[in-house]
Amino acid sequence: LSLKFGDVGNLKGLVIRFLLTTSYYQLSVQNWFSLHKLQLLYNHSIQATFNATRIYAPASYSYHCEHVSSLQRYDALLIPSSANDLSKLWEVTFTDFQIQGFNIQEGHFAYAKDCATFFSPAILMGLVMSLILLLVLAYALHMLIYLKSLDRHYEYKASSAYFAQMKDNDMGDEKEPLRSSGNESDELGNQQFYKIYI
């Protein structure tokens, strides 16, 4: 599959050639196509050749990727074919790349198999943030349950049954009036003291 730029300025002699192959896979019981190589030709001379990796789809589908590039920041799906080749001097990046070499109907792309994997960086970051929020929520619930159990503990300690003996003795002391004798000396009944530990 060749992409020619026609009479566009300096790109007049430039051709981008995509070498596609098809294979039948018994496991999926269907044909798959893959981009095998990408060649850059200028004035009918090959300037650079790149081996393509992980660019494949079922033969009845098209392949789509946001970036197909030879640069590492875009995951480098295009790798120079040889260390001695001039391909090292070229940087190739396709944006919003979509290709289909076979089973094209009415000049339109078929349903696209996207290159985005399930564990892309954005999805991994979302999973990590969800895990952090889940841990914070679990800790908050744990603290809430712990505070409620503390409230029940102190309610038990402050119950009327716990202080019943002290209240009865206080009432007894209140009922016993001060007695005055002829020499005006005051007498208090026997007082009992209780210690309460909380």
CA–CA distance, 67 with 69 (Å, rounded to integer): 6
Q: What is the chain's pLDDT, residue by residue, as a tens digit (198 residues)?
A: 888 887 777 778 889 999 999 988 877 788 899 999 999 998 888 889 999 988 999 888 999 999 999 998 888 899 988 777 778 888 999 999 999 988 888 888 888 888 876 566 677 788 899 999 999 999 999 888 877 766 665 665 555 555 455 545 555 554 444 444 444 444 444 555 555 545
Domain boundaries, the chain: 2-116, 117-162
- How distant, in Å, are the alpha carbons of 43, 65, 73, 101, 153 from that of 33? 29, 15, 26, 8, 70
CA–CA distance, 171 with 84 (Å, rounded to integer): 105
Q: How many Cβ atoms from other residues are within 10 Å of residue 145's Cβ?
A: 10
